[in-house]
Structure 1
Amino acid sequence: MKTFMKGAAMLAAAGIIVKLLSAVYRIPFQNLVGDKGFYIYQQVYPFIGIMTVWTSSGFAVALSKILADRDRSEAGGIMRIAFLYLAVLSGLSFLILFAGADIITGWMGDRALAPLLRTGAAVLLLMPFLSVLKGAFQAHGKMGPVAGAQIAEQAVRVTVILAGTWIVISAGASLYAAGRAAMWGTVAGELAGVLLLFFLFGKWQGRPDARSRTAVPVWPVAKELTAVSLAASLSSLILLFFQLIDSFTMFNLITASGTPREAAMEAKGVYDRGQPLVQMGILIASTLSLTIVPLVAAHTGKKSGRTAEPFVQLAWRIAFLFGWAAALGLILVMPFVNEMLFETRSGSGALMIFSLQIFWLSLILPLTAVLQGLGRVKWPALILFAGLALKAAANVLLVPGLGIAGAAIAGNAGFAAATAGLVVYFKRIWPVRLADNRFYKTIIGASILMAAVIVPWMLLSDIWLFDGLPSRLAAVLTGLSTVAIGAPIFLGAVAKSRILSEKEWYLLPGGRRLAALQLFLNQDKKGSGPNE
């Protein structure tokens, strides 16, 4: 268990770094290219993101599971089947995106995006190498190379995207050329990951022998690869599918309502400012899925000792607590964060609505991960895609009249419906009480207290305290000071109420400090929390 948790913690740490880099680079990128340039990049990114997440992440997990479950003599055959299967899948996807780029971008309403789609499609040709190598390392518990490759991929990708974009923009080229340079950054990042894994695989003394000729049936391996890979990457894929729906519908719907093309592009770019903010907001939920969920899996089905139930309850309460805190905090400070990061306050109302998605996604991620650990994949997938269908329908109904605010409402409707469906389904197969009424009342009370303090502070800062300073500097000072005031108030109220015990805080990354704060605030109380 110690080795298992150490490997999980290593991947969790790498996952945090990767997701943080993935969110953060979009901010300087938007500052370089503006809202129209951001629209150009975000229109194409979901296509590439869906395939890379499914193959490089989901297939790697699936392959590692199959290799770990089978006899070592079969490893070579399984790896060859996986590689050939992925080569066919990636090759076909590449051909569809490359040859059909004009048709696909025509459906999106902007054929000038076709060169970007063709460039980004090249990354798919690297996926078989990346997935098989990652899967081989993970199957033998060697998480270091996998974590290193993930960080290398993202670091190279971000560096090439920002440097390439700056060079193109400085040379006076078009925003579409800048978007194409950004797509090459994705290709460069994946290539860096492949090269690093090849190097480490060559130095691995106990590596599986890919030349082994032990016969392995093809169909069972291919079937399991497909099922497990989709299950493992489902929660990450659903966010990208929501973005894909926006790519196909928003620009067409906005222009159809009479908005000029340039203005529609900029409006979609403003809307896309919410993507990195949501990604940063769900970091805690993503980390939770990678740290708490393995504990759930390890304790599920135990006949004696500690069962999985306390870990399921903890996963829910932590996801709810920090998902709501992140969403509410961002909603309250959005005008200042918007200007601080993206230069203007354009679309702040729509982005406030958009930010509520952090809360729904924070609940969806651990729920789907726990259900996956229980072997429940079909119904969660159907529920998530029902939410996706609702998002698409709501876009058609709301975007023509409400613009980007309508798309933000539609996104929340889809995610909220998916969350409700997952909770109902989860309760049917595991009738556990996830949290008591006191927990929810405490969250409401802490939220009201935080809002009552920071809203007057923001108004005072914006109107009087930082008046006279450059607008963006004033937004920086107001935004950061508000966070510095609001976060301790919210966490202090939560710690004082003791809705999580000190032992539970200790299970979380960085939880030691919050446990210490809770002990300090409750020195006069006896006992050690609600779940002791």
Structure 2
Amino acid sequence: MANNFGMKGYMKGALLLTIAALIVKALSAVYRVPFQNLVGDQGFYIYQQIYPFISFFVVWASGGFAVAISKMLADAESSIHPVERKRIISRTIFYYLTMLSIVFFCLLFFGANFLSEMMGDKQLAPLLRTGSFVTLFMPVLALMKGRFQSQGEMVPVAYAQVFEQFVRVAVILIGATIIMHTNKSLYAAGNAAVFGTVIGEIAGIILLLYYSKKLHIIPRKIENKGSTWPILKEVTVLSLSVSMSSLLLLCFQLIDSFTVFSILLHNGMDHIKAMEMKGIYDRGQPLVQLGITIASSLSLAIVPLVALQSKKKGGRGSTPFIQLTYRASILLGVAASIGLVIVMPYVNQMLFETNALSNVLMIYVLQIVPLSVILTLTAILQGMNKLKIPALILIGAILLKYLGNLYFIPKWDVLGAAVASNIALFLSAGLLMIYLKRLVHSKLATKEFYIKLSIASGSMILVVVMVDQLFQIFFHVATSRVVAIAIGGCLIFIGAFVYLTIVAKTKMLAVKEWFLLPFGRKMARYQLLLNKKK
């Protein structure tokens, strides 16, 4: 085991993984903007139809399984025969993952025609076949990441995550650029983007192999390995619990892939117009991903503290950390969501060239609030080893989203899909809050906190709307992308300044609480400055 695998080494490793995860999530959201600009709304629709298929198993294996493997291997250290136990666990999980990867590969490769027909677009089949190959690399990738993390060696894992995402984004954008300047086939550009994911995963494996040196990928065969069912059960439950909030969002996107375009066609909409409308609707996904990036970092940073404090006897235990995480997620989620709503026409044109369907995207980005809560609360409940109820709640949200799409899309087109997502997410976030409150026997936030939050949000809305009106009165210029960038940028800065100033002035979080949050030191200093305290 690595010598630095003490608490200090663990916290440094956890911080490194948090930063790596932030970079990966930011890249995942940001690259979609130039890609959409290259291929347009039709091309964006093509890629977004396939994206959740290839990402589902990647997130589950590379994220959930890797963490589960690391925990199980670390726990094996306390067994009677740790070396043998680790080999049994590694070998069992490797074969289990191999079986799952073959199942997913066959489903995507041989079922490509069926799945594309279900989505209402047979030309998507080649893209599904290309994406299916990414599943074959997951067993090796998950096992290597899990091995490194179990030994406290976070650097290779962090570097691999960032490297594979950089390679993936580079292949996607370079491939799309070349194709759009040659044969200009949107489906070919989409296929190149899917191929980028495959290449990215291979790049991650190559880097981990470079770091591994003497690490055996496939553990040696062990005699008398005993029952494998407990290992399979534990790794399945752990992997799903770790990745279930991320899988929730992908399940919603899968439902949209199967329902939105096909229902629009069934309603009599023209094929090209339906593609464009779905592509414009999908613009909301990178915006939501950026909005929940901070909430994701909160869940990664706070969960170890919650897990540690939950085991302590006496005192308040993990309750203060749980309350802080909840309040911070609400605080930042509301800021991102409402901020995007009030400047959406400008943001839409600034990033995606037109302000089409801005009203739909305004509804769409409201998801940031419940998703921020869901991400942090499921992570907290995972730290408390409470998995069953959150899983049931999120499964219910997926079912509600599907039924909502079937009901609302025929009535309101893509607006119906956004409404269905919001209903399912707000309801599941509320149920998670109720469940967690019962566990901690304490309020997650005071009435005073919600009043201050309303004041900060209302003030931001009022100031931004007033400044926007002044811009409209004094600057009579035609709407263009340059104007959208200038005005939108100013409004975003003003809104953020007003919101954060009120948050700091009213002390919605204590100074010492800001120091516990990722990148909270500057807010702590600003709060001290505003309140004139040394």
Deviates more, 1:210-219 or 1:72-81: 210-219
User: Retained in 2: the 8 A contact 1:76–1:208?
Assistant: no
Equivalent residue for 2:461? 451
Residue 144 of structure 1: aligned partner = 155
Cα deviation, residue 452, structure 1: 1.2
Closer/same/farther in 2, CA of residues 463 and 410 from structure 1, 3 Å limit: farther
1:473 to 476, 482, 492: 482
Q: Residue type matched to 1:211 in 2? A: R
Contact 1:123 1:186 in 2 (8 A): yes
Aligned equivalents of 2:225, 2:27: Cα separation in 1: 40
1:107-506 → structure 2 map (5 Å cutoff): 107-202=118-213, 210-211=219-220, 213=222, 215-217=224-226, 218-304=228-314, 307-462=317-472, 464-465=474-475, 467-468=476-477, 471-506=480-515
C-alpha distance in structure 1 between counterparts of 2:333 and 2:463, whole Å: 20
Corresponding residue to 2:8 among 2, 22, 42 = 2
Q: What TM-score, normalized by structure 2, do the two folds share?
A: 0.95
Contact kept? 1:74, 1:212, Cα under 8 Å? no
Would the aligned equivalents of 2:120 and 2:262 in 1 still touch at CA under 8 Å? yes
2:71 counterpart (56, 65, 70): 65
> For the residues of structure 1 that align with 2:492 and 2:98, how far apart are their CA atoms?
47
How many Å separate the matches in 2 of 1:426 and 1:367?
A: 8
Give me the whole-angstrom Cα distance separating, in 1, the residues matched to 2:314 and 2:437: 23
Q: Which whole-Å deviations, capped at 9, do the CAs of 1:354-404 have from their partners, x for residues lacking one? A: 000000100000100111111111111110111111111111111112111
Q: Distance in 2 between matches of 1:201 and 1:261?
A: 50
Q: Please list the CA deviations of residues 422-446 of structure 1 after superposition, one character each: whole Å capped at 9, or x if unmatched.
A: 1122222222211111100001001
Q: CA deviation at 1:470?
A: 6.5
2:477 is paired with a residue of what secondary structure?
coil
Give yes or no for the alignment of 1:85 onto 2:85.
no
- Which residue in the other structure is 2:529 paired with? 520
Which of these residues, 61, 86, 92, is aligned with residue 55 of structure 1? Answer: 61
- Native 8 Å contact 2:306 2:384 kept in 1: no
Contact 2:45 2:278 in 1 (8 A): yes
1:264 to partner: Cα distance: 0.5
1:227-268 CA distance string (max 9 Å, x none)? 110111001000000000100000111111111111001000
Distance 2:392 2:143 in 1: 28
Q: Which amino acid in structure 1 is aligned with residue 37 of structure 2?
A: N
- The Cα offsets for residues 4-63 of structure 1, whole Å up to 9 and x where unpaired, read as 221111110000000000000000000000001000000011011111000111110111
Report if aligned partners of 1:278, 1:357 keep a CA contact under 8 Å in 2. Answer: yes
- 1:39 corresponding residue in structure 2: 45
Residue deviations 1:184-234, cap 9 Å, x none? 000000000011111111167xx8993373643322211111111011100
Match of 2:24 among 8, 18, 21: 18
Does the 8 Å CA contact 1:292/1:311 hold for their aligned counterparts?
Answer: yes
CA contact (8 A) 1:327 1:357 kept: yes
Amino acid at match of 2:507: R
Q: Name the stretch that deviates more: 398-407 or 232-241.
A: 398-407
Q: Assess if the C-alpha contact under 8 Å between 1:77 and 1:214 holds in 2.
A: no
| CA distance in structure 2 between the partners assigned to 1:437 and 1:491 by the alignment | 19
Q: Which stretch has the larger CA shift, 148-157 or 66-75?
A: 66-75
Q: Distance in 2 between matches of 1:380 and 1:209?
A: 34
The answer on whether the counterparts of 1:48 and 1:121 sit within 8 Å (CA) in structure 2 is: yes
Q: Do the aligned partners of residues 488 and 414 (structure 1) sit closer, same or farther apart at CA in structure 2, a change above 3 Å counting? A: same
Give the Cα–Cα distance (whole angstroms) in 2 for the partners of residues 231 and 79 of structure 1.
20
Q: Aligned partners of 1:463 and 1:128: how far apart in 2?
A: 60
**TM-score, structure 1 length as denominator?**
0.96
**Identical amino acids, percent of aligned pairs:** 51
Distance 2:489 2:452 in 1: 25
Secondary structure at the aligned position of 2:372 is classed as helix
User: Aligned partners of 1:201, 1:306: CA distance in 2, in Å?
Assistant: 42
Structure-1 separation of matches of 2:522 and 2:18: 19
Indicate conservation of the 8 Å contact 1:9/1:291, yes or no. yes
Deviation string, structure 1 residues 312-340 (Cα, Å, up to 9, x no partner): 00000000000001000000110000000
Deviation of 1:469 (Å) = 6.2
Whole-Å separation in 2 of the counterparts to 1:272 and 1:469: 27
Amino acid in the other structure paired with 1:387: A
Q: Which moved more, 1:222-231 or 1:212-221?
A: 212-221
Look up the SS of the partner of 1:200 in the other structure.
helix
Q: Distance in 2 between matches of 1:222 and 1:198?
A: 25
Q: Residue 523 and residue 214 in structure 1: after superposition, are their counterparts in 2 closer, same or farther (change >3 A)? A: farther
Stretches of structure 1 that go unaligned for 5 or more consecutive residues are 527-532
Counterpart of 1:12, as a letter, is T
Q: Which moved more, 1:264-273 or 1:469-478?
A: 469-478
Alpha carbons of structure 1 residues 470 and 426: separation in structure 2 relative to 1, 3 Å: closer
Residue in 2 that maps onto 1:99: 110
Which residue type is aligned with residue 74 of structure 2?
A
Distance 2:145 2:8 in 1: 22
Decide whether the 8 Å contact of 1:505 with 1:514 is kept in 2.
Answer: yes
Contact 1:76 1:209 in 2 (8 A): no
